Amino acid sequence: MKAILAAGSIALITAGAFAQERYELPAEQAETARMLIDQALESDLAWDIVESLTTEVGPRLGGSEAEARARQWGADLGEELGFDRVVIEEFSMPYWERGDMEITMNAPYTQALYGTALGGSGRSPRLRPISSDIVYFRTVDDLMAAEDGSLEGRIAFVDGEPIVRSITGAGYGPANIRRRVGWQHAERAGADALVVRSVGSDIRRFPHTGMMSSDSAGDWADIPVIAVSNPDADHIRRLHELGEDINFTIRSTAGWRGEVTSGNVVLDIVGRENPEEIVLIGGHLDSWDLGTGAVDDGAGVAITVAAAELIRRLPQRPRRTIRVVMFGAEEVGLLGARAYAAQHAAEVPNHVLATESDFGAGRIWQFVSNVNEDANPVIDAIGRELAPLGVLRGGSNVPGGGPDIIPLAFAGVPTVRLNQDGTDYFDLHHTPDDTLDKIDPEQLRQNVAAWAAMVYLAAELDVEFRPTPDAASE
């Protein structure tokens, strides 16, 4: 069928009751996309970028001095590679710092636990240790049912289960509830502190940090809120099932440190025909402070910058502008993403497509989209170019695009996503174990290949991904 269709043509194929137009890429663009794939599969550029970021900058918590160094690193990289425009766009944000923490079990015997404060945690009173018996809750729902004042003088411990590993990371959202809102119920019930099982799929003694949610008034925890490793939580569960009284000592100096400056780094390849139309890609520049943020999300920054750079080296610029955004302060509440959408509100309607790489560095296995349905045949044609890389065409109405794309997607920007194999992502996520050695260079090259071909075609082809104004008003 494909062989008898002229390049660039549209033909009707009927499938059951539905008629679906089939679109064939123009030969020249298809050839360029294949050339980009070949080049990416031979290129170590993404590896060099993520190695440089994780080694020369290191951990880079949103709002920290390290994140400011990362911005300068990102702008220097953009200049060095020869992007057409390189801008640091600052915004201000409240800064939370981890400080020091200790957590020890004192009864039924003494044992050090492996824990870390959650983002937004409070400190122990006068920065001194608290020693209290724990009240064990099997699930966060059980803690939510605790009566007001019923945990005075106690430490709440919320168990749960390790996340079940999966390619999509599907178990993360539900497991995350104890991390996000558990503190609000512990505080309401009068607890001295809250300790939760880490939200992770590994059986290492690494705690997983991550941001909590503020309450409906916008307030944060006054009490220490600590996640312990899965094996530590297993241990506490077994002691509880033996009927033992369990006592913890906790000391934390975590807290808010006032308003600071963060920012996004914006690198543009200016389009040759429609420079005002923007295909936005990127990753987030900040990381949690325990590891060096290699898979979350140094890899995403490296993949998208490297893909854009391969396109920049073509003999001519694509029709549209390709914009790589290194978002700031993602981990601590999508603050860079919100700032970007606010600062660029006037040109949001010119963003024709947006997507982020923020799920590690595993092989891409699926391409999903959420664009004007008339553009689906073109997305399908792009998908066919990715098939030799082992990428399957997934759903055509899957909202998303990545965490930092949420504000743009809400404002009506079409999205696509190159889904990575996240089977081991939540082993490493937000732990001290998120380091460069976890990235497989060959899988990283496969990512860059898929991104380079997809982004080039999205920026080059004459296709509207946004609904036309008429269609939108119907």
What does the binding site for Zn ion look like in residue numbers (CB under 5 A)?
296-297, 358
How far is the first Cα of the chain from the last one, in angstroms, to the nearest whole number?
A: 35
Q: Which is nearer to Zn ion, 122 or 291 (CB)?
A: 291
Q: Of the two residues 403 and 467, which places its CB atom closer to Zn ion in the complex?
A: 403
> Closest separation between CB of residue 420 and Zn ion, Å?
12
Given CA atoms 330, 336, 340, 341 in this order, what sign does their dihedral have? positive
C-beta of 334: minimal distance to Zn ion in Å? 10
Nearer to Zn ion, 309 or 358 (CB): 358
User: Are 453 and 318 spatial neighbours (Cβ–Cβ below 8 Å)?
Assistant: no
Nearer to Zn ion, 135 or 280 (CB): 280
Q: Report, in Å, the least distance between residue 434 CB and Zn ion.
A: 10
Least distance to Zn ion, CB of residue 429, Å: 8
Least distance to Zn ion, CB of residue 430, Å: 9
Q: How far is CA 249 from CA 101, 154, 230, 241, 408, in A?
A: 11, 11, 19, 21, 44
Q: Which of 161, 175, 65, 179 is nearest to 116 (CA)?
A: 179
Nearest approach in angstroms of CB 394 to Zn ion is: 21
We find the least distance from the C-beta atom of residue 106 to Zn ion, in angstroms, to be 36
Query: Which residue's CB is nearer to Zn ion, number 160 or number 298?
Result: 298
By beta-carbon proximity to Zn ion, the closer residue of 295 and 378 is 295
Between strands 274-284 and 320-327, the pairing is: parallel
Of the two residues 255 and 401, which places its CB atom closer to Zn ion in the complex? 401
Q: How far apart are CA 439 and CA 334, in angstroms?
A: 24
